[in-house]
């Protein structure tokens, strides 16, 4: 592994499952991804099984993600050397067919698993994961639940810290998402926050009665700004009367916002965040719903997630330079609204420390207690 990749990998928990791609992204051609600071090449072998190896060919440094799949191996585009899913070199075209291939000629490989339309990766090289990916239960919900998902991974501006805290933060909705979340309150919902017993995540729950009590305007949200999709939404979208709002974070990078009415959960807006490098994060996301099941609503929901994530990427990309790095602003002033997102720092920071890695951010901030 190159020293630059090794240094970047120290910023992230690598003995952990993350989403590397959607199943539909990984087809007959290899797919290049930067994950946890490591340049990787993902590919399917002849049997359709997914694999991931370091994208740097050890011969002359060509990008293996720009090569092609030959049988069950990945062929280098420079000199044709082939590497299997375990990272071993299987062919050196320029030498005699009977000549031995040096056992040391190999690339690091990474464990992968495929489930519910997602390809998961364990970004610790040549490591054996102790457990399978912890796939959220909502991904397995049967019909009438309907999924509208981004077509693939999006590389977005924003460090892993900034991206996760933004997703867990209600206070930015009224300012960053005026178009996609019309009528969002400037006040933060009174969430009751709990840390999971295994300390691999946490969640918050708020009753709509309590939210409306602190901001009555939330009970009467307008359809929006009069655009075509707003007009269509009036006819295509079922009007829900939520009784509860909740969110959940898991160490796999999953954030899920759930709306519940008197009949039970009605939709899950979710995202999987995967660290890319010091200032960029891969995003996979979608909306799962059991309401508004018609073609017009399908079209609206397909447009919703790209619009929402573009707004987030814009604001995170415009942070001042000293706030964009892996640790965010060196000593952020903590306000009460941050109690919703700051537990991420503790959970992910503890996981970094467990791997013997430095925590690149302040855990408590310099201002008022959250």
**Distance of alpha carbon 125 from alpha carbon 127, whole angstroms:** 5
Topology (CATH level 3) of domain 3-122: Rieske Iron-sulfur Protein (2.102.10)
Q: Which of 113, 114, 118 is nearest to 22 (CA)?
A: 118
Which DSSP symbol is given to 219? G
Residue in the structure block whose two tokens are 């030959």:
70
Q: Domain 137-354 belongs to what architecture?
A: Alpha-Beta Complex (3.90)
What is the pLDDT at residue 230? 65
Residue in the structure block whose two tokens are 């964009």:
324
User: What is the mean predicted confidence (pLDDT) over 165-188?
Assistant: 90
Report the Cα 351 to chain-centroid distance in Å. Answer: 17
What is the pLDDT at residue 368? 37
What is the pLDDT at residue 240? 84
Q: Is the whole-model pTM more than 0.75?
A: yes
User: What is the mean predicted confidence (pLDDT) over 95-100?
Assistant: 90
**pLDDT at 142 exceeding the cut of 70:** yes
DSSP string, 53-83: EESB-TTT--BGGGSEEETTEEE-TTT--EE
**pLDDT at 237 exceeding the cut of 90:** no
Q: Which of 206, 307, 199 is nearest to 247 (CA)?
A: 206
Mention every residue, 6+ apart, whose C-beta is less than 8 A from residue 131: none
Q: Which of 6-15, 64-73, 246-255, 356-365 has the lowest mean pLDDT?
A: 356-365
User: What is the mean predicted confidence (pLDDT) over 299-305?
Assistant: 89
Sequence ranges of the domains in the chain: 3-122, 137-354
Mention every residue, 6+ apart, whose C-beta is less than 8 A from residue 113: 17, 119, 120, 132, 133
């Amino acid at each position: 592994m190159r020293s630059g990749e090794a240094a970047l990998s120290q910023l992230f928990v690598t003995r952990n499952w993350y989403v590397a791609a959607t199943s539909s992204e990984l087809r007959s051609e290899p797919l290049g991804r930067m994950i946890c600071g490591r340049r990787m090449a993902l590919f399917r072998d002849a049997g359709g099984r997914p694999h991931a190896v370091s994208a740097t060919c050890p011969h002359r440094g060509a990008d293996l993600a720009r090569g092609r799949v030959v049988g069950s191996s990945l062929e280098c585009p420079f000199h044709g050397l082939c590497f299997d899913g375990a990272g071993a070199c299987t062919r050196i075209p320029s030498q005699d067919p009977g000549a031995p291939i040096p056992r040391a000629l190999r690339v690091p490989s990474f464990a992968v698993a495929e489930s519910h339309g997602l390809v998961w990766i364990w970004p610790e090289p040549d490591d054996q994961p102790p457990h399978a990916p912890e796939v959220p239960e909502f991904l397995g919900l049967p019909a009438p639940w309907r999924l509208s998902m981004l077509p693939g991974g999006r590389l977005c501006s924003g460090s892993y810290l900034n991206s996760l805290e933004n997703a867990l933060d209600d206070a930015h909705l009224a300012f960053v998402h005026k178009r996609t979340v019309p009528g969002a309150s400037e006040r933060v919902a009174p969430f009751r926050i709990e840390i999971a017993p295994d300390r691999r995540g946490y969640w918050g729950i708020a009753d709509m009665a309590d939210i409306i009590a602190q901001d009555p305007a939330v009970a009467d949200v307008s359809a929006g700004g009069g655009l075509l999709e707003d007009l269509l939404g009036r006819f295509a979208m079922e009007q829900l009367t939520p009784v509860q709002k909740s969110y959940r974070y898991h160490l796999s990078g999953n954030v899920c916002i759930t709306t519940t009415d008197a009949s039970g959960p009605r939709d899950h807006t979710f995202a999987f965040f995967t660290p890319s490098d010091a200032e960029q994060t891969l995003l996979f996301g979608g909306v799962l719903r059991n309401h508004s099941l018609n073609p017009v609503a399908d079209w609206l929901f397909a447009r919703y997630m790209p619009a929402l994530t573009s707004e987030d990427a814009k604001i995170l990309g415009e942070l001042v330079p000293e706030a964009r790095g892996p640790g965010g602003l060196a000593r952020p002033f903590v306000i009460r609204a941050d109690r919703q997102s700051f537990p991420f720092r503790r959970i992910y920071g503890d996981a970094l420390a467990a791997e013997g890695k430095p925590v690149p951010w302040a855990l408590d901030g310099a201002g008022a207690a959250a």
